[in-house]
Amino acid sequence: MTTRIEEKLIERGRFRRPVDREAVRRDWAARGFDCRDFVDPPGRQWNGFVHPTNELVTVVEGRLRLIVGRQEVVAGPGDEVFIPRNAEHSVHNIHAGTTRWLFGYDG
């Protein structure tokens, strides 16, 4: 069951699997976001980031745990996570293998 807070952070299955990077780029561009590729090895953690812009994250392959403020979500392929501007956040690759993901910022 998805909680109300989780609904604000994650939209499960926003993009069809397998995830088409170009479809994500087009969708995000229409919403004012850029789109960048990222690849993380197993166990990689990015902790304590804060950006002055909103951020979107979509997993292409693998799984990520995202901690936004005090909330935590796990995202898989096709899920989209919204990280509000100025929110402290961390991203952890919790997949046994490489995780490929997309991220983008607005304005």
The model's pTM is: 0.91
Please provide residue 79's backbone torsions phi and psi, each rounded to the nearest 5 degrees.
-75, 150
The two structure tokens encoding residue 51: 């950006």
Q: pLDDT value at position 7?
A: 52
Amino acid identity of 45? Q
Q: pLDDT value at position 87?
A: 96
Does CATH place domain 4-105 in 2.60.120.10?
A: yes
Within the chain, what is the greatest distance between any pair of CA atoms?
34
Q: pLDDT value at position 5?
A: 44
Who contacts 39 (Cβ-Cβ below 8 Å, separation ≥6)?
98, 99, 100, 101
Q: pLDDT value at position 86?
A: 96
Please provide residue 13's backbone torsions phi and psi, each rounded to the nearest 5 degrees.
65, 25
pLDDT tens digit sequence for 3-57: 444 458 999 999 999 999 999 999 999 999 999 999 999 999 999 999 999 999 9
Q: pLDDT value at position 8?
A: 83
For residue 77, whether the previous peptide bond is cis, meaning omega lies within 30 degrees of 0, is no
pLDDT tens digit sequence for 44-91: 999 999 999 999 999 999 999 999 999 999 999 999 999 999 999 999
Q: How far apart are CA 99 and CA 32, in angstroms?
A: 25
Q: How far apart are CA 56 and CA 87, in angstroms?
A: 12
2 has a pLDDT exceeding 60: no
